[in-house]
Amino acid sequence: MSKVGRNMLWLLASQLATWAASLVTVIVAPDLLGSADFGALSYAQGFVMFFTLVAGLGTSTLLSRAIARDEELAGPYVWNGIVLKVVLGSACAVAAVSLAYALGNRGETLTLIVILSGGMIAHVIGEVAAGALFGLQRMAGVSFWLVIQVYLQTVLGVLVLVLGGGVVAYGLVLTGSALLPVFAQLWLIAPQVRGHLHLDRAIWRLLLTGGVPLMALAFFNVIYGTVNVPILHFIAGEQQVGWYSLAARWVGIPVFITTAVSAAYFPEFAKHGRSLSPEFAPLVNRAIGIVLLVVTPGAVGIALVADDLIRLLYSDGEFERSIVLIRILAIQMPITAMDTLLAHALVASDRLNRYLAVSAGAAVLNPIACVVTIQLMQERYGNGAIGTALVMVATELFVMFGAWRLRSSGVVDGAVLRHVGRIVLASAAMAAVVLVLRDRHLVVQIAAGAATYAIAAPAFGAVSLREIRDVRERVLKRAPSEV
C-alpha cells in the first residue's frame, strides 16, 4: 500500500475513533453545562484562538511542506522551531490574558482564558513536531496519540461535569489532556532531532519570514471563521453563543473526512506542486472526490434530521433554537471541504500570495456582515445566531469562488464536476427516503438514509463497484498499489 493510502487509513481510523468520543462530548457537555456556561467556554476558546494563530506562525504547514521535499531538514528545523515556539507562545499567552482583562472579562470567563492561554504554549510546540512528522509521512503515531487524548478528555470531562465540577474544571480537563499528544509527538520526532541541538539564525529567519504568509492565511481564516462568536456574544449574549456553538459542533462532525484526506495528501501535493508535475492535478481531484463523497450526504442528512436529533438529545428545550442553525450551517459543509482542499493545493504549489487576498477579503467582509445580519435577525426573530450562520455560508461561497479562480490547470476539471453531480443525485435519493420516513424514529431515518446512499452512490456512478473492491483488497491484503 502506498504511503498516502496507509496514512489516510490511519487518519481516517483516528478521526472515526475521535468522532465517536466527540459525539459523546457534544451530547453531554452542553446539557450539563447549560447554554450560558457552554457559551462562555466557546467564547474563551475563540478569544484564545487568535493568539494561538500568532504563536503558531504557520510553522506546522511550513515544516510539513519543506520536509516533504527534503527530509534532511527535519532535525534542525524542529529544534529551532521548538525554541521559537517557547518564546512566541509565552509572549502570546501573556498578551491574551492582559487583553482579556483590559476588555472587561472577569470571573469564570477570565479564568478560562488564563487556562486556555497556558495550554496554548504546549499546543504550538506540539504543532512543530506534528508538522515535521506529517512531512515525513509518519502519521500513524500522531493519529494514535490523538485518539488517546480525545478519549481521556471525554471520560475525564464527563466525569467532572457529572460530579458538578463546573465549566472551569472542565476547561482544566481540556487543557490538561491536550498535553499528552504533545509529549508523544516530541518523543516520536526525537530521533531526527538528536545531533541538531543548536540554534541557527538562518533557520529562525526562514521560519519567521516563510511562516508569515501561512500565519496570515490562518489568521484571516480564523477571523472569518470565529470572529462571529465574539460579535454574537457582544450583541446577543452567551446563551445565543451556546445555541450557535452547539450547531457548529454538530455540523463539524462529518468534517473528519476532510481533515484525514487533506492531511494524508498534502505531502504528495507538496512534492508535485512546486513544478506542477502531471501527477499534481489528478492528486487534488482524487482528494476532492473522496471528501465530497462523504461530506455531501452528511450535510444533507444532518439538515434533515436536525429537529429530531436536538429534541431527542436535549429534551429540556434549551437548544431548540439550534435546529435552524444546524440546517443553515449544513449548507456550508461541502463548500468548506472544497475550500480546504483547494487551499492545500495552492499552498503546496507555492501559489499562496493571490489566495491571501481572497482570504483577507473574507476576513474584512465577514465581521461587517455579521454585525448587520446578527442585529437584523435578533430584532426580527429573537435569534441573532441565524445571522451568524447565514454570513458563514456566504463567506465560504466567496472563498470557494476565489480559490476556484486561482486553481492550477486541470484541478476541478469537467470530470470532477460530473462526479460531484453524481454525488448530488445519490444524496437526493437518500433525502427522498428520509423525508418519507420523517414520522419514524431517528435511528430508523438514519439507517434508511445510509442504506439508500450506499445503494444510490454506485447506481448513479458516484463510486464504482470496482473502486469499492479495490479499496477492500488494499485494506485487507495491503496490496502495494496506489490509492
Rg (CA), the chain: 22
The string over 346-379, giving b where at least 16 C-beta atoms fall within 10 Å of a residue's C-beta and e elsewhere, is: bbbbeebeebeebbbbbbeebbebbbebbeebbe
Closest CA to 13 of 475, 483, 477: 475
Return the percentage of the chain with pLDDT > 70, whole number.
Answer: 95
pTM for the model stands at 0.76
> What average pLDDT score do residues 72-100 get?
97
Cell of 197: 541541538
> What average pLDDT score do residues 329-350 get?
92
Pair 78, 192: CB distance under 8 Å: yes
Pair 262, 344: CB distance under 8 Å: yes
Q: What is the mean pLDDT of the chain?
A: 89
Closest CA to 340 of 466, 460, 254: 254
Residue 219 has what pLDDT?
83
| Amino acid residing at 201 | R
Closest CA to 89 of 47, 133, 61, 55: 55
Pair 303, 330: CB distance under 8 Å: yes
> Residue 245: pLDDT above 60?
yes
Residue 479 has what pLDDT?
40
What's the CA gap between 104 and 111, in Å, rounded? 13
Please name the residue that has the C-alpha cell 521535499.
69
> Residue 478: pLDDT above 70?
no
Identify the burial level of 278 via C-beta atoms within 10 angstroms of its C-beta, where 0-12 means exposed, 13-18 middle and 19 or more buried. Answer: exposed
pLDDT digits (tens, 9 = 90+) for 407-441: 988 999 999 999 999 999 999 999 999 999 999 99
What's the CA gap between 117 and 439, in Å, rounded? 47
Pair 149, 122: CB distance under 8 Å: no
229 phi/psi in degrees, rounded to 5: -70, -50
Residue 224 has what pLDDT?
86
> Residue 68: pLDDT above 60?
yes
> What average pLDDT score do residues 463-479 get?
60
Between the two ends of the chain, the Cα-to-Cα distance in Å is: 8
Cell of 480: 502495494
- In three-state form (DSSP H/G/I as H, E/B as E, the rest C), the secondary structure along the chain is CCHHHHHHHHHHHHHHHHHHHHHHHHHHHHHHHHHHHHHHHHHHHHHHHHHHHHHHCCHHHHHHHHHHHCHHHHHHHHHHHHHHHHHHHHHHHHHHHHHHHHCCCCHHHHHHHHHHHHHHHHHHHHHHHHHHHHHCCCCHHHHHHHHHHHHHHHHHHHHHHHCCCHHHHHHHHHHHHCHHHHHHHHHHHHHHHCCCCCCCHHHHHHHHHHHHHHHHHHHHHHHHHHCHHHHHHHHHCHHHHHHHHHHHHHHHHHHHHHHHHHHHHHHHHHHHHCCCCCCHHHHHHHHHHHHHHHHHHHHHHHHHCHHHHHHHHCCCCCCCCHHHHHHHHHCHHHHHHHHHHHHHHHHHCCCHHHHHHHHHHHHHHHHHHHHHHHHHHHHHHCCCHHHHHHHHHHHHHHHHHHHHHHCCCCCCCHHHHHHHHHHHHHHHHHHHHHHHCCCCCHHHHHHHHHHHHHHHHHHHCCCCHHHHHHHHHHHHHCCCCCC
> What average pLDDT score do residues 78-104 get?
97
pLDDT digits (tens, 9 = 90+) for 119-152: 999 999 999 999 999 999 998 888 899 889 989 9
> Residue 480: pLDDT above 60?
no
Q: What angle in degrees, to the nearest 10, is found between the helix axes of 140-162 and 107-135?
A: 160
Q: Which of 3-12, 179-188, 244-253 has the highest mean pLDDT?
A: 179-188
Residue 465: pLDDT band by 50, 70, 90 thresholds?
low
Q: What are the residue boundaries of the structural domains of the chain, listed by start?
A: 1-226, 228-483
Q: Of 19-23, 231-235, 256-260, 457-461, give the lowest mean pLDDT range.
A: 19-23
Closest CA to 29 of 198, 153, 113: 153
pLDDT digits (tens, 9 = 90+) for 163-193: 999 999 999 999 999 999 999 999 999 999 9
Residue 482: pLDDT band by 50, 70, 90 thresholds?
very low
Pair 318, 34: CB distance under 8 Å: yes
Residue 481 has what pLDDT?
38
Q: What angle in degrees, to the nearest 10, is found between the helix axes of 385-406 and 201-226?
A: 130
| Amino acid residing at 271 | K
pLDDT digits (tens, 9 = 90+) for 251-298: 987 777 888 888 889 898 988 887 888 999 999 999 999 999 999 999
